[in-house]
């Protein structure tokens, strides 16, 4: 009686099928077991995982809602949010008419694990489970190539295993890497992704082993979620300035869940300094903002909410109408409703690009 | 505005809430210690279903370390982004000047009066022996 059965057609404007670039299916360690060797299963039972966080078991900050999930996303039949495909279909995929979704599993995936070999084994298992547990049952759900990104050799091996498999949409990093993302230790991963024809998705969070701000640990969750854009700014600047895109002109980076209003300001600041200090970085052949506009895509959620909606549209204009991808973040608490998230004044053409056209062009799902 | 019978009083005990469909609108009816209040179920921020949120109280602070918790159960917290609304008025605690969950007038009427009309009893059978929750919408 207390569940509102809403009608999908409530969204007034006619819509194309939606491409949702950020869905978080939940698996348990037990789900991964068939894809882990006995050695690693026993290891996990005996020693457990060691994230690159000191003194923290679980989340470093209490979340806004339990498990950072919408309170209405706990499946009626039991289990964790987004662990039950049938309920995910009913509440999200079918309800909103999601044509394709990209799964970005966050845990357990072994990312940020101190033991490189365990990290690689869990990444492999997480990838197998995305295929068997989700994509095989609902091919709308595309997988991410989860990689143990702190070890480039093992990451490349995983990417090469998945190369050519069209069930995978992109290679998944979390944003808090142990070094800035443009550093050379990560370049082999970029090379392997380009060879495989896969974009790199960088989803916020992760365990870098360092405080999440450059000046220590913030006190509150509100700071943690706001800080994602700051840490990504540093890595975006690093990718550009280190010359990654001169070396890999085909490389495409998708920034997921970091907001996007900070991007023009970063471009302005980089360009301003580059004009004065070009000789410090002679490997850059173009203004930093040109790399920023050419090589980066952004996902919408959490959609910026400015007092004046036109300010958001100005920012989108700067980033480029071809570079913005719709994302819901289902089932997390800061979920964006596909029917309500975008500024209402957007033209039908721009709306369709963000809902679907841009992602189809980027991920080449036809 | 028509008056709609949405439930028998006994169907919404104190401390609980119930969703009603009135003229195609989803309205959530709350019983706060015997008083009834109704809000549009759609969160005015981004559309979450308020009925699936959590009823909480009012936390106020006039400085770090000083907290007061009052009015337990009288604030509904949206299940999505956590926006909080006063169940009595619909007022938002996140953006009180601009946003409010739409409230509806609720009353309790004896079945003897309802049977005589002019009430619309959509799905609730009415008998003279009971009291009913009536929403104007």
Residue-range domain boundaries for chain A: 15-363
8 Å CB contact of B81 and A334: yes
Peptide bond connecting A331 to the previous residue in cis, omega within 30 degrees of 0: yes
Q: Is the pLDDT of residue B20 over 60?
A: yes
The full DSSP string for A149-215 is TT-HHHHHHHHHHHTT-TTEEEEEEES--SS-TTSGGGHHHHHHHHHHT-PEEEES----SS-SBTT
Give long-range contacts, CB 8 A cutoff, 24+ apart: B52-61: B52/A2, B52/A3, B52/A4, B52/A71, B52/A72, B52/B79, B53/A71, B53/B77, B53/B78, B53/B79, B54/A71, B54/B79, B55/B15, B55/B17, B55/B30, B55/B87, B56/B84, B58/B93
Chain A nearest-CA residue for B42? A4
8 Å CB contact of B79 and A65: yes
The verdict on B90 touching A (C-beta cutoff 8 Å) is no
Is residue B97 situated within a structural domain?
Answer: yes
pLDDT in tens, A144-165: 999 999 999 999 999 999 999 9
8 Å CB contact of B82 and A64: yes
8 Å CB contact of A70 and B82: no
Dihedrals phi, psi of A5, to nearest 5 degrees: -90, 100
Chain A nearest-CA residue for B54? A71
Give chain B positions within 8 Å (CB) of A335. 80-81
Is residue B45 situated within a structural domain?
Answer: yes
8 Å CB contact of A71 and B46: no
8 Å CB contact of A337 and B54: no
Is residue B126 situated within a structural domain?
Answer: no
Which CATH fold would you assign to the domain A15-363?
Answer: TIM Barrel (3.20.20)
The pTM (predicted TM-score) of the whole model is 0.89
Q: Which residues of chain A have pLDDT under 50?
A: 10-14
Per the structure, the complete domain to which residue B73 belongs is given by 12-109
Residue that wins the pLDDT comparison between A34 and B118: A34
Question: Nearest by CB to B18, which of A2, A70, A340?
Answer: A2
Half-sphere exposure of B122 (CA within 13 A, CB side): 17
- How close B26 comes to chain A (CA, Å)? 7
* The two structure tokens encoding residue A273: 């300094």
Is residue B46 situated within a structural domain?
Answer: yes
Give chain A positions within 8 Å (CB) of B81. 333-335
What pLDDT does A4 receive? 74
User: Which of these ranges, A44-48, B13-17, B110-114, has the smallest mean pLDDT?
Assistant: B110-114
ipTM of the complex: 0.76
Is-contact A197 A229, C-beta < 8 A?
A: no
- How close B51 comes to chain A (CA, Å)? 6
The C-alpha atoms of residue A213 and residue A61 are separated, in whole angstroms, by 14
Give chain A positions within 8 Å (CB) of B52. 2-4, 71-72
What pLDDT does B69 receive? 95
Is residue B100 situated within a structural domain?
Answer: yes
What pLDDT does A10 receive? 45
The bridge status of strand A324-325 relative to strand A98-103 is unpaired
What letter would DSSP give residue A301?
Answer: P
Q: What is the mean pLDDT of residues B45-49?
A: 92
**Nearest by Cα to A255 from A277, A272, A231, A279:** A231
pLDDT in tens, B60-104: 899 989 999 999 999 999 999 999 999 999 999 888 888 889 999
The C-alpha atoms of residue A185 and residue A250 are separated, in whole angstroms, by 19
**Chosen from A70, A91, A301, A329 to mutate, greatest number of chain B CBs within 10 A:** A70
8 Å CB contact of B82 and A339: no
* The two structure tokens encoding residue B54: 């959590």
What pLDDT does A12 receive? 43
CATH number at residue B103: 2.102.10.10
**Chosen from B56, B81, B124 to mutate, greatest number of chain A CBs within 10 A:** B81
8 Å CB contact of B79 and A1: no
The C-alpha atoms of residue B30 and residue B19 are separated, in whole angstroms, by 9
Is-contact B39 B104, C-beta < 8 A?
A: yes
* The two structure tokens encoding residue A17: 């099928």
Is residue B93 situated within a structural domain?
Answer: yes
What pLDDT does A212 receive? 82
List helix spans (H) across chain B: 111-116
The C-alpha atoms of residue A340 and residue A334 are separated, in whole angstroms, by 13
Q: List the 52-71 stretch of B: residues with Cβ below 8 A of A.
A: 52-54
Peptide bond connecting A173 to the previous residue in cis, omega within 30 degrees of 0: no
Q: A181-216: string of b/e by CB count within 10 Å (b at 16+)?
A: bbeeebbebbbbbbebebbbbbbbbbbbbbebeeee
The verdict on B48 touching A (C-beta cutoff 8 Å) is yes
Query: How many domains, chain B?
Result: 1
Strands of the A98-103 sheet, one edge to the other: A18-23, A98-103, A141-146, A168-174, A200-203, A253-256, A296-299, A324-325
């Amino acid at each position: 009686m207390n569940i509102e059965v809403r009608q999908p057609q409530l969204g007034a404007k006619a819509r194309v099928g939606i491409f949702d670039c950020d869905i978080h299916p939940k698996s348990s360690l037990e789900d991964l077991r068939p894809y882990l060797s006995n050695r690693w299963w026993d290891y996990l039972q005996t020693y457990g995982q060691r994230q690159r966080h000191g003194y923290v078991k679980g989340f470093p900050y209490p979340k806004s809602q339990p498990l950072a999930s919408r309170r209405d996303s706990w499946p009626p039949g039991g289990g964790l949010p987004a662990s039950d495909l049938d309920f995910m279909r009913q509440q999200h995929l079918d309800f909103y008419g999601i044509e394709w979704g990209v799964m970005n599993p966050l845990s357990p995936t072994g990312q940020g694990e101190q033991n490189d070999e365990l990290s690689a084994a869990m990444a492999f298992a997480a990838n197998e489970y995305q295929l068997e547990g989700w994509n095989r049952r609902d091919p709308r759900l595309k997988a991410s190539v989860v990689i143990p990104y702190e070890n480039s050799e093992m990451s490349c091996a995983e990417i090469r295993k998945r190369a050519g498999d069209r069930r995978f949409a992109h290679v998944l990093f979390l944003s808090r890497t142990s070094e800035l993302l443009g550093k050379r230790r990560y370049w082999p991963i970029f090379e392997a992704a380009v060879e495989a024809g896969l974009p790199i998705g960088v989803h916020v969070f992760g365990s870098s082993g360092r405080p999440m701000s450059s000046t220590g640990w913030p006190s509150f969750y509100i700071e943690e979620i706001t800080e994602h854009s700051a840490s990504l700014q540093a890595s975006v600047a690093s990718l550009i300035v280190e010359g990654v895109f001169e070396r890999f002109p085909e490389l495409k980076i998708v920034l997921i869940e970091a907001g996007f209003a900070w991007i023009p300001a970063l471009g302005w600041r980089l360009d301003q300094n580059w004009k004065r200090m070009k000789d410090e970085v002679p490997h850059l052949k173009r203004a930093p903002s040109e790399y920023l506009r050419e090589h980066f895509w952004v996902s919408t959620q959490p959609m910026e909410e400015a007092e004046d909606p036109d300010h958001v549209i100005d920012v989108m204009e700067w980033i480029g109408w071809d570079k913005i991808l719709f994302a819901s973040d289902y089932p997390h608490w800061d979920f964006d409703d596909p029917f309500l998230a975008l500024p209402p004044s957007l033209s039908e053409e721009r709306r369709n690009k963000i809902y679907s056209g841009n992602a189809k062009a980027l991920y080449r799902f036809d | 505005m028509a008056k709609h019978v949405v439930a028998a009083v006994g169907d919404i005990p104190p401390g609980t809430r119930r969703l009603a469909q009135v003229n195609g609108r989803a309205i959530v009816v709350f019983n706060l210690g015997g008083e009834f209040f109704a809000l549009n179920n759609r969160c005015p921020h981004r559309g979450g279903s308020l009925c699936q949120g959590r009823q909480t109280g009012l936390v106020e602070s006039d400085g770090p370390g000083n907290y007061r918790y009052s009015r337990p159960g009288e604030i509904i917290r949206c299940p999505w982004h956590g926006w909080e609304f006063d169940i009595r008025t619909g007022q938002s605690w996140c953006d009180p000047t601009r946003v409010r969950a739409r409230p509806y007038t609720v009353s309790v009427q004896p079945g003897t009066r309802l049977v005589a009309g002019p009430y619309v009893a959509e799905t609730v059978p009415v008998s003279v022996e009971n009291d009913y929750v009536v929403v104007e919408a």
